[in-house]
């Protein structure tokens, strides 16, 4: 089966967004009067849990367990996360986040080669659209035929739900696609949906496990990832599958 679509993760893959997320979480905590502070080494541990609301709950369970008994905990987390989302959008609008090297080139080349483009992420839709609007400008979001965000999946990565939803919308089998991810959670989600996956490591995922990836690169530009290489990796994945060496 030939390669027909590329499905991109957002956070860490299209852009190094996690510092903007981290600062937005901290600002929201401070504004609400909490002395909680997520420094980079704590945030690295917290990233084991995808999704902002889930991450706040995980933090409380780990380090402030007395909050778990609060009957209004869901509402508190929802309020903090809504404020964090607003603050993240402000940071993106201020130009704090840029596309990672090679992303724009690869998007251009893929479209010129007739590949379909999609997104599968755990972050909220408003965050995805804010990032695409600022970094790709007018028409940026329309380049992606399908956008699967946190709202589209019951269970966040590493569950495969968002990838399954995107495949359904594209009306393609997993073997016709390649996913591009930066993290172990993302890789597990894409593989769980049966999609061969290329990993481009990001700031916070340098030590993530990447077993099962069809290729692992530091950066799409430095490693000169183009459509031809993607087609090669995709074909290799198909060969391995037909030899019974993988699940694709």
- Report, as residue numbers or ranges, the catalytic residues: 9, 11
Q: How far is the CB of 75 from ligand XBP (least distance, A)?
A: 17
Partner from Mg ion, ligand XBP, none binding residue 123, C-beta < 5-8 Å depending on class: ligand XBP
CB nearer to Mg ion: give 11 or 87. Answer: 11
Q: Does 9 bind Mg ion (CB under 5 A)?
A: yes
Query: For the chain, what is the largest distance between any 2 Cα atoms, rounded to a whole number of angstroms?
Result: 58
Of 27-35, 89-97, 182-190, 217-225, the window that binds Mg ion (rule: CB under 5 A) is 182-190
Q: How far is the CB of 44 from Mg ion (least distance, A)?
A: 13
Q: Does 183 bind Mg ion (CB under 5 A)?
A: yes
Q: What is the 3-state secondary structure (H, E, C) of 64-129?
A: CHHHHHCCCHHHHHHHHHHHHHHHHHHHHHCCCCCECCCHHHHHHHHHHCCCEEEEECCCCHHHHH
CB nearer to ligand XBP: give 11 or 161. Answer: 11
Q: Does 161 bind Mg ion (CB under 5 A)?
A: no
What is the helix (H) or strand (E) element at residue 165, kind and residue range? helix 161-170
Give the integer Cα–Cα distance in Å for 109 and 18. 26
Contact 178, 115 (CB under 8 A): no
Partner from Mg ion, ligand XBP, none binding residue 51, C-beta < 5-8 Å depending on class: ligand XBP
Residues that bind ligand XBP (CB under 6 A): 9-12, 18, 21, 50-52, 85, 121-124, 127, 150, 157, 183, 185-186
Partner from Mg ion, ligand XBP, none binding residue 238, C-beta < 5-8 Å depending on class: none
Give the integer Cα–Cα distance in Å for 161 and 155. 6
Nearest to 98 by CA among 54, 57, 49, 131: 131
What is the helix (H) or strand (E) element at residue 41, kind and residue range? helix 40-46
Partner from ligand XBP, Mg ion, none binding residue 208, C-beta < 5-8 Å depending on class: none
Residues that bind Mg ion (CB under 5 A): 9, 11-12, 182-183, 186
């Amino acid at each position: 089966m030939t390669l027909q679509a590329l499905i991109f993760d957002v956070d860490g893959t299209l852009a190094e967004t996690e510092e903007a997320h981290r600062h937005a979480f901290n600002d929201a905590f401070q504004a609400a009067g909490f002395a909680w502070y997520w420094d980079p080494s704590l945030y690295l541990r917290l990233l084991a849990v995808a999704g902002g609301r889930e991450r706040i709950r995980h933090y409380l369970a780990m380090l402030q367990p007395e909050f778990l008994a609060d009957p209004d905990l869901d509402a508190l987390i929802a309020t903090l996360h809504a404020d964090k989302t607003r603050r993240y959008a402000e940071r993106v609008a201020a130009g704090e986040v840029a596309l990672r090297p090679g992303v724009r080139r690869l998007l251009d080349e893929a479209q010129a080669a007739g590949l379909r483009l999609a997104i599968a992420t755990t972050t909220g839709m408003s965050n995805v659209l804010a990032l695409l609007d600022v970094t790709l400008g007018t028409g940026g979001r329309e380049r992606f035929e399908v956008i699967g965000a946190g709202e589209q999946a019951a269970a966040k990565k590493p569950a495969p739900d968002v990838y399954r939803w995107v495949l359904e919308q594209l009306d393609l089998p997993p073997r016709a696609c390649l996913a591009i991810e930066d993290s172990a959670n993302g890789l597990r989600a894409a593989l769980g949906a049966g999609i061969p996956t290329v990993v481009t490591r990001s700031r916070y995922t340098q030590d993530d496990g990447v077993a099962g990836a069809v290729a692992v690169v530091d950066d799409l530009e430095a490693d000169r990832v183009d459509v031809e290489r993607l087609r090669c990796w995709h074909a290799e994945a198909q060969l391995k599958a037909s030899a019974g060496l993988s699940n694709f």
